[in-house]
Amino acid sequence: MIHVPILALETSCDDTCAAVVEGRTIRSNVISSQAAAHERFGGVVPEVASRHHLELINAVVDAALADAGTELDEVDALAVTRGPGLIGALLVGVSTAKALAAASRKPLAGVDHLHGHVAANFLEPDPLEPPFVCLVASGGHTLLAGVRDHSGFEVLGQTLDDAAGEALDKGARLLDLGYPGGPAIEREAASGDPDAFSFPVAMAHGPGLDFSFSGLKTALLYSVRELGPDQTRARRADLAASFQAAVIEQLVARLERAVGDGEWAAVALGGG
């Protein structure tokens, strides 16, 4: 593992982030969230995200360097998320990292977003050693990774359509619960009955490890239409609880299926 200071930038979605990492040690980690800016739209608007990244990226980088007690000249390399993510948002991070690397004559590494989620498990204060299974469940991605060493991972399963977080965001929008959808649905579901509605769990009994959430989202849409506005409001807690239970059941089922052969020593959960 490399034990030199690295300045890392991340702008794949709606958070503007920078960190200084040295080996397994996180010397600083600065995150500027745009959640409030996107709340009224019920989801992330790519153009709005890109503009906010442009406004925030320099200040976030400066804060990360200051928190680490270092300067750009003292880091040995830069890293930046190159994808997957929102194209315009990624472009801000990549362009900034290229400019900083060129000006300081430092090497620059482009990092796969999902690889970053998995590799974060190697960092302090509680580094996890392979072999382990990592479930990444975020707004844009749902991935089951088999990690046998530090160099990469094997894709055991991934979503065939919507990601889990995307389904929760759209479910929250259907129930008029606001954004981000995951926390909003969780709050509403706390007072609901998860068995009140029978929502589908895709490929629940098959042998595969892929995910699918589009059918679940459609089932919620049909339930809301059938109930009508008044009954939807009256039974919103039950709808949220049942919808959330179906999302979680699918995630847990695939994870249990993956670790069932006993090959993996641990399970890691990631996302963002």
Distance between alpha carbon 199 and the CA centroid of its chain, in Å? 24
pLDDT of residue 1: 53
Summarised one tens digit per residue, pLDDT across range 55-73 is 999 999 999 999 999 999 9
- The helix-helix angle for 164-174 and 214-234 (nearest 10°) equals 30
Q: Which helix (DSSP H) or strand (DSSP E) does residue 244 occupy?
A: helix 236-259
C-alpha 123/C-alpha 215 separation (Å) is 37
Q: How far apart are CA 14 and CA 94, in angstroms?
A: 15
Residue 51 CA to residue 71 CA, distance in Å, equals 26
10-residue block means of pLDDT along the chain (272 residues)?
A: 84 95 95 82 84 96 98 96 94 98 96 93 93 91 94 93 92 92 95 96 83 95 97 98 96 92 89 74
Q: In angstroms, how far is CA 27 from the centroid of its own chain?
A: 22
Q: Which two tokens stand for residue 43?
A: 């989801």
Task: Please report the pLDDT score of residue 60 as a whole number.
Answer: 98
User: What's this model's pTM, rounded to 2 decimal places?
Assistant: 0.86
What digits encode the pLDDT tens for the residues 102-121? 999 999 999 999 999 999 99
Q: Cα-flanking dihedrals φ and ψ of residue 132, to 5°?
A: -150, 160
Give residue 261's pLDDT: 74
